[in-house]
Structure 1
Amino acid sequence: MATRSALSFAFGSQSVFRLSLLSVAILASHSALAAEDVDFDAVTVTATSISTTTENTDSYKSSSMSTTTGLELTPRETPQSVSNVTMKQISDQGIQSMDEAMKNTTGITVIHNAGRFRYLSRGFYIDNIQEDGISYSLNDGANGNSYRNANSQSDIAIYDHIEVVRGPTGLTQSSSQPGGTINAVRKRPTSEFQASAEAEVGSWDHYRAVGDISGPLNEAKTLRGRVVGVLQKKNSFKDDVGNKSGTFYAVFAADLAPETTLTFGGLHQQGTEVPDFYGVPMGPNGADAGLPDSAFFGMDWTKWKTKKTNVFAELEHYLNDEWRITAKTSYTKSTSESSFGSITNISDGHPISTQSPNMPLKYGQHYNNDGSIFSATLNLNGSYTLFNQEHDFFTTLNYSREKTDTLLKQHNFSGISINAWDFVGNEVSEPNWDDDSILNTKNFYKQTRTDLGLLTGTRYNFSNSWHLIAGGRYALYKTSYSVTNLLKPSAKQTYTETTTTRFIPYAGLTWDFYKNSSIYISYTSIFEPSGEKGPDHNDLKPIIGDNYELGIKSEFFDNRLNTSLAIFNLEQKNRPMDCIIDSAETTCSRGKVRSQGFEAEASGSLLPGWNLFAGYTWNMSEYTVTESASKQSGETYSPFTPRHILRLYSSFNLPGAAYRWTVGGGVQAQSRAKSASSVQQGGYAIWNANIQYQATNSLKFSLIANNIFDRHYYNNTNNRTLGANNYLGDPRNFILKLNYQY
């Protein structure tokens, strides 16, 4: 209660922030009055570029990142809560996928959804991901259905590090949920030759091999290249669940001139997977049903095949010593094909028991998804001198177009019910999906999203201690969506189209009150087209809102350790809700929610050889108006986001004669949570550890243990019911890894 009161005091009327903006305006006005004394011929710019690369730094600390504003700023200069999963963390913890990386990041809740994973921050989804600053939708398929998603995430081996911004990023994301942004930064070619090979084996027939070769391709080192290859076979503790995948990534950098560098490359990735689409049912009153941990209720013809090809290019050119222009483009072609059937109580939500063990097999589904994403950005930045201070300037024009086509075929199995304890998976053969006579559904879905944005801003330095980042983004967002029933060719096609424009302001004020510490306060607007129609058939108002954040950031131990503390208040309104019709108006855009909380993080080195990452989040969200009978004012908005989240990991290189050994360990802990259907999961802590032995300067062995105390728990999931969507977390497991570096 005390924490909530403090947050209400800080943000309730938002007066603190408004007074800060007023102060800034006064200072800016004062500067403008003095402009006549400025020699504008003396205005110069310096286009500085800070490397964001974490490779070979041997640290959990990042030097800079660009996800929040587009400027390459240190974490301390960034007026928002940010995290960075470095290459050292990925290696030490044996992180092999984006969902594993997010499970080890401050404040991120990872939920299991439709055979895939989704991420939440501060109670809201992160529904966009960036690769080198270029965005694409993370999990949504046609009309927001994850089954209709053609996209697949790239293997984490191609990335140098992963940047995470918590809270909305109005400058770099024009239309998205306000949870935050993930920016995965690809590995780049190196100017010196290096090569590495990694092989690992683990529990449940887990095998993985990674090769990485990089270096100059000519004597002058003006042409450089890098190739990464990955092969993986990874099964699960669940019967039949697992995946096989292969990834090939190549990237080249060419210095066309001393001031011009062209970087280009591509990726091809294929995978075959047996996912767990529906999990298991619970027993009466939400207790375990007594099923074995390995229970899997998918038919033996369940499969999901994915293919992804991506090509990209980046041209960086220094117009002179002062201005820099960067152009980026990316094109991705993705396909996926899935077939699945499962015994499940997803429709009625009923639990099971040995007295009531049967579950129905209601239908089988087959999806063919085809998607493409084209994106391009043009960025101009530099720094200018004004009033004897240097300031940064940035402007970016970006465009993206995402297309998704989906063919859904569905066959109903009538009257089939199977005992869960006797289920094998071969009880029913796969339907002939080419036979329309046995299908009850054959629909073609088509969706296109176009996003055009122009952003501009400045980092204005009132003095060496006071800094203001101010700017805005003009966004034009257009979607079109259609459904065609192919079993009834004469039926009318359903088609909707929405176009929305919005100006999204952003401001962040930082005060360097001590040589190693800064206080900041920031504001950004929230914008997300609702994509829905009201009863009058007109587009609903876009979802809008505001995010306020106040924090302090510091650097310790000769800048080896970054720390941050922040409180935040986020409000989202114009949410689609149950339609209200009265004498005055017809509307479906009256919903409103609030999320507020506190975050703390430390990342970097306490001593040479001693790395630490620690993050804690306290978050509370609530409906501030009644949206429906099940969404009453004052009730928790995101009950599947734990109130408390702790992420901790540390590694220590032993001194003296034991210098070849490094030991590490940490915990992922959270308080209790529940699904939208009130299925409870108590608080839990998952402890992990690793031991590394540097046999030679080139050869290293690692033993990684996950969930070392074998904690029994269920993953966070928004749609858990007593009848389905309960996904057991991984039991204790081990990975033995060998790494060779040339």
Structure 2
Amino acid sequence: MRRATPFTPLPPRALRPTVLATALLLACAAPAVQAQASTISADAEVRSFDIPAQPLGVTLARIATEGGQTISIDAALVRGRASPAVQGRYTLQQAAQAALVGSGLELVRMANGSWGLRAAPAGKPASGAGTASGSDVSLGEVRVTAQGERSLATEHTGSYTTHALSIGKMPQSIRETPQSVTVVTRQQMEDQHLVAVEDVIAQTTGTSKSQRNYGAHVYTMRGYEIPDSNYLLDGVGGASYSPTGWVPMDTAILDRVEVLRGAGALVVGAGDPSGVVNMVRKRPRSEKHLEVAQSIGSWSNYRSEIDAGGPLNEAGTVRGRVVAAYTDRKYFYDLAHSKAPMLYGVIDADLGDSTKLTVGYRHEQVGIDGYAIFGLPSYTTGASLGLPRSTSLGQRWNRHDAKVDEVFAELEKHFAGDWVGKLTLNRNKTTVTQKLGMARGAVDPATNLGAYFLGTEFTDRDIDASGLDAHVSGSFQAWGGVHKLMFGTSWKQQDVFTQSFTAGQRIPIDLFHFNHDLIPEPATPVYDFGLKERSSLLGIYASARLQLADPLHLHLGGRFNWFKFRSNDHFTGALTNDYRQSGQFTPYAGLVYDLGPQWSVYASYTSTFEPQSQYANFEGQQLKPAIGANYEAGIKGELMDSRLNVALSVFNIKKRNVAVYDRDHEGLCPGITTNDCYRNASLLRSKGFDAEIGGRIARGWDVAAGYTYLSTRNAEGQSLASDAPRHLLRLSTSYTLPDAWSDWKIGASLAAQSNAYVDTVQNPGHAVLDLRAAYRINRQWTASLNIANVTDRVYWTAIGGTRNGSYYGAPRNATLTLRGTF
């Protein structure tokens, strides 16, 4: 294997704890590999199980995961069978036997030390206890060939990883995917109390937050901003608008979030080389269930959740699920108070043995009093003003309201073999309304002057978005190998209608004694600016995973893109922008070579294409599309019976003609999509490496962690994303105590990064530690306590230069959650 050129940067002093933590993190993989080489003789260990009645295959998979053993399952044997609830303290063998009661199957020991299933001999009680005596049994009829039919859902698995991804529409494991992918599971979201997609992205390997877009903050990855178009719902675009900013998405509806780093041609064909975020919705379950949660946190942070569902008819062919959440909270800074209700409903209906129809609806809204779109200014030198973390520059009457109503439908048809066709439609209506008093400005250290109240702004945005995707996937045998193929088409369209009114003022303000009642609340004015925009993207795509030899697979694919963008002045009807691109082709290719049953090496190439006609330069000219290439290579391991994934990758990205914010002409391009100017940079480069581990490294011990080194340069040799730190570490771990203490779970999270900057404003390297503990009170109830920023570290979560301001990270705070499962 060709080895990457070693790179050994000297870390800054602030990063030394981060580097040490990274070394310890990666060292955790060593005992996991060693443990994989020996048979885990822990079948006699007694532990607590609390598994509801559900499909038998799902129950057995969960028992195996929690018990740290392997149960080989033939999907044909368990299909259509259900298990009773498994609740109490059992060994793994006893728990599996309890799940098999009444199934007609029995548990048997296989020659390699793992467990298997077979039909119980005629006349034997269907108790699951028949031959599980510990003697070796040769099971010629047990075939472990049906992993593709296993549910991809992560809820109730207790895992920090997944056995397969759905982001590429062709299910395959992380090890089989020739790009870097992180999965944040349902369990990790609950453990860390990640209640918004923004919280999830902030915990993902290689991501950093940027202060941009007037409060609609974004995240960068590998030096590039993750655009809205790269946020997918169940693999389909066109359904999200500012999901990490103005219109936050609640994670209560999600089973998992899959994050692919780098160019998304492998997944969506076109787009930016930052990354792709696939948000996977919860779906109805085949058993009745009710789950409730109530949390109380610092600064009057209250949140309630309910998740209920099950079969809607006696035959179980129609299933439903309803998820509701309500958050009422204040913040650590002055004035701000938000209320956020959410409702999600979904129904699955089996239209025969091979066809399933899914329909769903989501309503979500947020209203924030005391909203401010700018952070805290600094001195003109870039030095911090040292303001209290509670400081806010909003007026008391400032207000932000956002609402989204979404419907979706999915029709899935199974054909002969493992061929599946799927048709998906997303449709949503989003509104964003803001009433703002704005203050910002750099402060002269000699006079303490320079910050001003700049006036008021009223803005309404109406967004209508639609997304459609149709694809077929399956496998076939040819040329001595098994190959997978997927092809389809997608379309998405977004209409944005923006109206606003701005009244400019320039009133000096005292930041050290800021007056939240400086300006009386103005009446809603008549809008004097209006813009209508329509963007649409049509794509035809195909991908294949070809088995060139037993250990070698070739990934090939590509997409043809047709893009249109048009905008008009609402009041005059004048055309302000009109652009189209036809038949743009974005190819990709990858090679995956299996070093054995657990390890693979890979290399991939991905082309990128990103329309940018919504931006204009200072001369009023539309920006050219950005094109580029993404190269990546690495090694991946799938260990501990696929319960642990590890990866090391190197990447090199080149991008030409990318839109770069023109700070020299800030706010001087009226009449285009925004009031800001942009320019085409000639060549941007991004390179670095990731090291990641996710899953179970030992019985009861789960880890999700990653370290990223990033270096970026523009044509002038400057960093193209200076607010993205060069070194990033994200680490989360949880451990269930053994034996009599198994009702307790403890955990910790660490987020560390090196220095970053915007202009002269620095964000020094820092590390933030969170701790948590959970106690299972009984079979139904669990209480947990999360303490964030336990050292009360003062740091910035995002910086925006001397004018746009920076945002403090939250001080030490605690959240107590009571969760019930029935």
Q: TM-score, normalised by structure 1?
A: 0.85
Asked whether the 8 Å contact 1:646–1:668 carries over to 2, the reply is yes
1:467 aligns to 2:553 (yes or no) = yes
Equivalent residue letter for 1:707: N
CA distance in 2, matches of 1:572, 1:479: 22
Query: How far off its partner does 1:476 sit?
Result: 0.6
Match of 1:208 in 2: 303
Q: 2:364 aligns with which of 269, 289, 306?
A: 269
Match of 1:643 in 2: 726
1:401 aligns to 2:481 (yes or no) = no
Match of 2:709 in 1: 618
Match of 2:627 in 1: 544
Match of 1:27 in 2: none
Match of 1:38 in 2: none
Match of 1:222 in 2: 317
Q: 2:429 aligns with which of 333, 339, 343?
A: 333
Q: 1:99 to 1:109 in 2, by over 3 A?
A: same
Q: 1:292 aligns with which of 388, 393, 399?
A: 388
1:95 aligns to 2:95 (yes or no) = no
Asked whether the 8 Å contact 1:393–1:459 carries over to 2, the reply is yes
Equivalent residue letter for 1:382: G
CA distance in 2, matches of 1:406, 1:512: 52
Match of 1:593 in 2: 684
Residues 378-420 of structure 1: per-residue CA shift (max 9 Å, x gap)? 111111110121110100110111010010111123x522322
Asked whether the 8 Å contact 1:48–1:382 carries over to 2, the reply is no
Q: 1:139 to 1:266 in 2, by over 3 A?
A: closer
1:480 aligns to 2:480 (yes or no) = no
Q: 2:698 aligns with which of 603, 607, 615?
A: 607
Moved more, 232-241 or 420-429: 420-429
Asked whether the 8 Å contact 1:102–1:110 carries over to 2, the reply is no
Equivalent residue letter for 1:650: T
Asked whether the 8 Å contact 1:328–1:378 carries over to 2, the reply is yes
Asked whether the 8 Å contact 1:334–1:372 carries over to 2, the reply is yes
Asked whether the 8 Å contact 1:120–1:179 carries over to 2, the reply is yes
Asked whether the 8 Å contact 2:546–2:554 carries over to 1, the reply is yes
Residues 695-728 of structure 1: per-residue CA shift (max 9 Å, x gap)? 10110000001000011011233xx222442111
CA distance in 1, matches of 2:498, 2:706: 40
Match of 1:11 in 2: none
Q: 1:140 to 1:497 in 2, by over 3 A?
A: farther
Asked whether the 8 Å contact 2:239–2:466 carries over to 1, the reply is no
Asked whether the 8 Å contact 1:384–1:392 carries over to 2, the reply is yes
Asked whether the 8 Å contact 1:281–1:352 carries over to 2, the reply is no
Match of 1:302 in 2: 398
Match of 2:338 in 1: 243
Asked whether the 8 Å contact 1:450–1:478 carries over to 2, the reply is yes
Match of 1:733 in 2: 813
Q: TM-score, normalised by structure 2?
A: 0.77
SS at match of 2:200: helix
Query: How far off its partner does 1:176 sit?
Result: 2.6
SS at match of 2:372: coil
Query: How far off its partner does 1:284 sit?
Result: 5.6
Q: 1:663 to 1:309 in 2, by over 3 A?
A: same
Query: How far off its partner does 1:48 sit?
Result: 5.0
How do residues 568-717 of structure 1 correspond to structure 2 at under 5 angstroms? 568-575=651-658, 591-623=682-714, 625=715, 632=716, 634-675=717-758, 677-717=759-799
1:496 aligns to 2:577 (yes or no) = yes
CA distance in 2, matches of 1:411, 1:514: 67
CA distance in 2, matches of 1:190, 1:574: 48
1:517 aligns to 2:599 (yes or no) = yes
Match of 1:26 in 2: none
How do residues 356-435 of structure 1 correspond to structure 2 at under 5 angstroms? 356=448, 359-413=451-505, 415-434=506-525
1:121 aligns to 2:221 (yes or no) = yes
CA distance in 2, matches of 1:250, 1:589: 44
Match of 2:75 in 1: none
Q: 1:59 aligns with which of 159, 162, 165?
A: 159
SS at match of 2:199: helix
Q: 1:281 aligns with which of 377, 395, 400?
A: 377
CA distance in 1, matches of 2:293, 2:242: 33
Residues 19-44 of structure 1: per-residue CA shift (max 9 Å, x gap)? xxxxxxxxxxxxxxxxxxxxxxxxxx
Residues 557-612 of structure 1: per-residue CA shift (max 9 Å, x gap)? 2222100000000000133579xxxxxxxx97561111000101000001221111
Residues 515-574 of structure 1: per-residue CA shift (max 9 Å, x gap)? 200001001101011215689987654210100100100012222210000000000013
Query: How far off its partner does 1:264 sit?
Result: 0.7
Equivalent residue letter for 1:429: P
CA distance in 2, matches of 1:241, 1:133: 34
Equivalent residue letter for 1:130: L
Equivalent residue letter for 2:581: T
Q: 1:98 to 1:511 in 2, by over 3 A?
A: same
CA distance in 2, matches of 1:636, 1:660: 49
Residues 3-61 of structure 1: per-residue CA shift (max 9 Å, x gap)? 995489xxxxxxxxxxxxxxxxxxxxxxxxxxxxxxxxxxxxx9955532101110101
Residues 75-129 of structure 1: per-residue CA shift (max 9 Å, x gap)? 0010000000000100111111112111211111122332233111100111120
Q: 1:696 to 1:528 in 2, by over 3 A?
A: same
Match of 2:111 in 1: none
SS at match of 1:285: coil
SS at match of 1:116: coil
CA distance in 1, matches of 2:651, 2:359: 39
Asked whether the 8 Å contact 1:339–1:364 carries over to 2, the reply is yes
How do residues 185-196 of structure 1 correspond to structure 2 at under 5 angstroms? 185-196=280-291
Equivalent residue letter for 1:66: S
CA distance in 2, matches of 1:174, 1:7: 32
Query: How far off its partner does 1:359 sit?
Result: 3.0
Query: How far off its partner does 1:447 sit?
Result: 0.9
Query: How far off its partner does 1:358 sit?
Result: 6.5
Asked whether the 8 Å contact 2:239–2:427 carries over to 1, the reply is no
Query: How far off its partner does 1:170 sit?
Result: 1.1
- Stretches of structure 2 lacking an aligned partner (at least 5 in a row): 9-145, 663-677
Match of 2:205 in 1: 106
> When the two structures are aligned, how many residues end up with a matched partner?
661
Q: 1:330 to 1:284 in 2, by over 3 A?
A: closer
CA distance in 1, matches of 2:219, 2:373: 17
SS at match of 1:177: coil
CA distance in 1, matches of 2:618, 2:409: 45
Match of 2:65 in 1: none
Query: How far off its partner does 1:472 sit?
Result: 0.8
Query: How far off its partner does 1:494 sit?
Result: 4.2
Equivalent residue letter for 1:378: A
Asked whether the 8 Å contact 2:318–2:349 carries over to 1, the reply is yes
CA distance in 1, matches of 2:450, 2:535: 43
CA distance in 1, matches of 2:182, 2:778: 33
Query: How far off its partner does 1:65 sit?
Result: 1.0
Asked whether the 8 Å contact 2:372–2:438 carries over to 1, the reply is no
CA distance in 2, matches of 1:102, 1:391: 33
CA distance in 1, matches of 2:372, 2:771: 27
Moved more, 230-239 or 493-502: 493-502
Equivalent residue letter for 1:688: D
Q: 1:422 to 1:357 in 2, by over 3 A?
A: farther
SS at match of 1:56: coil
Asked whether the 8 Å contact 2:372–2:436 carries over to 1, the reply is no
CA distance in 1, matches of 2:334, 2:621: 49
